[in-house]
Amino acid sequence: MLAMEYRGPKRIRAVQKPIPEIKHPQDAIVRVLRTCICGSDLHLYNGNIPDTRVGSTFGHEFVGEIVEVGDAVTKVKVGDRVIVPFNIACGECHFCRQEMYGNCNESNTESSAIGAFYGYSHTSGGFDGGQAEYARVPYANFGPTIIPDDMDLDDAVLLTDVIPTGYQGAEMAGIQTGDTVVVFGAGPIGIVAARCAWLFGAGRVIIIDKEDYRLEFARNYSYCEAYNFQEIGDPALFIKKQTDWLGADCVIDAVGAEAAGNTLQTITGRKLLLQAGSATALHWAINSVKKGGVVSIVGVYGPTDNLIPIGNAMNKGLTIRGNQTSVKRLLPRLIDHVQNGVLKPKELITHRMPLEEVADGYRMFSQKLDNCLKTVLMPPSANQ
């Protein structure tokens, strides 16, 4: 089968690999029909996530058709078209019973923090991802969710991560009616978080980024104010001025490890890897939220230390919440929102490319060429 293969930082290619096989009675094999390049994949691509091994296949956003199931699989069958949440979760452990599917204790027993994810380094379990023609899906009695017959596959593939993560970012922010909500990062996750903030009752939504094309997209898709941090000076001071010097009620960090805007953070977090990514956006979030406010973190950071102003957070009495998204918990609600037209995921897609051109797709996305916001890859077998 054709699959994306990692060969080192900024070096990937499309190669032939063996079709995955059933390894456990609860496994399923899925023929991939749509798969995406995620902003989180760029952390791997750029070499910022530990234990990303040569030969790995990335891709934690994919939907497909089940072509084979293990002997113990009873919840799905061959021929079903399914959404595959990016979390690999057993559905039965201590944390899964709390619906913390991103923290499954069984799928990634080597970690004391996160569970397993498709195609996201050996720190996340070492599972190959879905930027391929076929993928092995563990715990098939729990994870895969059947796609409604009337749902477009382009909408469905964005329910594997982007829409749930943006939604959970807004949910964790604890938004109250009339709140001012600030989102740092106008990538797909931040744009969705900004749009979902209205669903929780926000009275004002502001998004901050440095790419004008992403800011313009956010204005149109999320109905929010959008500002370029290169034009407003210190973002924390700007937000204070916008809020009668109190600060925002809630701030969402949808940037994570590769934030721009601070030279020291960029050098230590992105160049020298002395901390788990550049924490610039998290600094801005902590310093721009009001006393007693909430900071919600959905931007991805590595599993080591970060230089953040924890004293400011403590003295301001902040609530800080963050986690990998529990996709399975949110899917029923989000499927309903898509079917009712409340959310329109496929409008985020700006580029569609064959899987054979995956290297060009990563280069385009990482360098922000051609106003690229969200790329869907089409495996050759998807047209069969």
The whole model's pTM is what?
0.95
Residue type, 18: P
Q: Is 132 in contact with 57 (CB distance < 8 Å)?
A: yes
Task: Tell how far CA 260 is from the center of its chain.
Answer: 18
d(CA 96, CA 92): 6
Per-residue confidence band for 167, with pLDDT thresholds at 50, 70 and 90: very high
How confident is the model over 240-273, as pLDDT tens digits?
999 999 999 999 999 987 788 888 788 887 776 7
- Provide the pLDDT for residue 15: 97
Structure tokens that stand for 288 in this block: 């721009």
For 206, counting Cβ atoms within 10 Å of its Cβ (0-12 exposed, 13-18 middle, 19+ buried), the class is buried
pLDDT > 90: percent of the chain: 82
Cα angle 157, 255, 318; round to 5: 115
* Res. 384: pLDDT tops 60: no
Taking the alpha carbons at both ends of the chain, their separation in whole angstroms is 14
How confident is the model over 176-223, as pLDDT tens digits?
999 999 999 999 999 999 999 999 999 999 999 999 999 999 999 999
Q: What single-letter DSSP state applies at residue 63?
A: E
Q: What mean pLDDT, rounded, does the chain reach? A: 94
Average pLDDT over residues 51-58: 93
How confident is the model over 70-88, as pLDDT tens digits?
999 999 999 999 999 999 9
Instruction: List alpha helices for 223-354, DSSP H.
Output: 235-242, 263-266, 280-288, 310-315, 327-339
- Provide the pLDDT for residue 308: 85
- Provide the pLDDT for residue 84: 98
Q: What single-letter DSSP state applies at residue 180?
A: E
Regarding predicted confidence, which is higher, 66 or 270? 66
How confident is the model over 113-156, as pLDDT tens digits?
788 999 998 888 899 999 999 999 999 999 999 999 999 999 99
How confident is the model over 284-343, as pLDDT tens digits?
999 999 999 999 999 988 777 788 889 999 999 999 999 999 999 999 999 999 999 999
